[in-house]
Structure 1
Amino acid sequence: MGGNLETMEFGEARSALAWWLEAGVDTAVQDAPRNWLAPAKPAPAVAPSPEPVSNLAEPTSETLAELQQWLSSSVQLPLASATARRILPHGPEQAPVMLLSDSPALEDFTSGQPIGGVAWALALRMLAAIGLSGEQAYSASLSCFHSPGTRMTEAERKACADIARRHIALVKPQRLLLLGDGPCAAMLDKRLVQARGHVHKIEGVRTVATFHPRHLVNRPLDKALAWRDLLLLMEDES
């Protein structure tokens, strides 16, 4: 599944072409050939993440499986409460790309995954456009809770960022895509409008920010901008 256009199944190829057309792609060539699935170069050594500024949660998991178990059971998580609904991440370790989205919305909870409903359908088309299937991506939320009417405090946001950094370090993705304002604010201390168009490094991983697919469903004209972000994400590192 996934891969280059020569090995794509008909449905995947049609989905990719539909995304390209909506994003305004009008030519099938670039200045140089692009290997969409070329592995990213090994991440440079980075200094350990700073100590959490909040004592709301401090995961000490040594493996991804341990962290996932902690996420599924810990009552120390930010926003954990009797009314909060838990939505867990999914995907393979060392994924070609990790998607980090904002706190789940109702449609995500209904689908039982970090990005759900029509937003996930669009996310699949975006992934297909860069030669990847949904199964090849690791998908997670800044917070794994859906808590209606609840907004993150600054302390909760910082605690969630600490958890997300630990998550990224254990997943070891080749690339990271931040979806929406929430992850940009928590992970980069910037709004999406400031973060877009630049390559960032989080836990040594090449990182690009773009719109959440839910935004693109409501604002389809921004798909062309999102396509530029995907191209930037998949560029070979020099």
Structure 2
Amino acid sequence: MGGDDDHAEVAELRSALSWWLESGVDAATVDEPQDRLKPPSQRLPAAAPTVIEELPDNLELFRAWLREAQDVPFAGTGPRVLPAGPEQPAIMLITDMAAADSGSDQGPVAGDSWQLTQRMLRSVGIAAEQTYRASLSCFHHVAGLPKSKDLDACVTIARRHIGLVKPQRLLLLGDGAAMALLGKKVAAARGHVQKVEGVRTVATFHPTFLMNQPSQKDAAWADLLLLTEE
């Protein structure tokens, strides 16, 4: 019986197909109306990554470039937060981006985070006036910095920045800075002395993280001691 049913079904399908062909139907259709005269939509090209052609070769010109350039990576609509501190400092701090509460003249580590950082630095004999603060991006981004060619440009800029500042030591604050310059998150990078542009470097937790996770302050203290030991 099953074989007879199959043959009958095939015969019905052939009959229906013959009827459609005789009726002039020669293409499949869909339920929704289609505009077949409309030209195919064109996919917009992705935004071109920032191209860094030539960076200034002295710190004064470099900081002026950060202040005025319109094509810096990850440019945002908020205030442009510039680095702060002296040339050849005892320590240079780098975070991934300006803090949400940073004003244009406060530096990328500001507010309560900067107060906590100053207390930690004073405990190892480093004053605020001996500290240079910088970030991979001069702008704050709520979702953080995405992985892209622009991030590669930020790393190129940061390395030039370090070379021009000439710090005695470099402290990377948070996963963003550690990943960009060491290729590891803080959990994997901390506890070890690294070299970035020839500078003694340690990665540690961002002060904002420490304010939310005070149990990690001892670990950050150990990182700071490791960085500053002779």
Query: After TM superposition, is the score higher than 0.5?
Result: yes
2:191 to 173, 193, 197: 197
Distance 2:229 2:106 in 1: 32
Q: 1:111 touches 1:117 (CA, 8 Å); kept in 2? A: no
Give aligned pairs, total: 182
Q: Which has the higher contact order (CA 8 A, sep 6+)?
A: 1
- Structure of higher CA gyration radius: 2
CA RMSD, 1 decimal: 1.7
After superposing the two structures, state which structure 1 stretch, 63-72 or 102-111, moved more. Answer: 102-111
Change (3 A) 1:214 1:176: same
Distance 2:217 2:146 in 1: 28
SS at match of 2:56: coil
1:165 to 139, 159, 178: 159
Offset, 1:152: 2.7
1:128 to 102, 111, 122: 122
Offset, 1:146: 2.0
Distance 2:120 2:133 in 1: 14
Structure 1 regions of 5+ residues with no counterpart?
A: 1-53
Q: Aligned residue for 1:69?
A: 64
Structure 2 regions of 5+ residues with no counterpart?
A: 1-48
| 1:78 aligned onto 2:70 | no
TM-score normalised to structure 2 length? 0.75
Change (3 A) 1:196 1:65: same
SS at match of 2:137: coil
| 1:57 aligned onto 2:52 | yes
Name the amino acid aligned to 1:161: V
Q: 2:50 touches 2:73 (CA, 8 Å); kept in 1? A: no
| 1:229 aligned onto 2:213 | no
Runs ≥4 residues deviating over 6 A: none
Offset, 1:58: 4.0
TM-score normalised to structure 1 length? 0.72
SS at match of 2:171: strand
Change (3 A) 1:132 1:150: closer
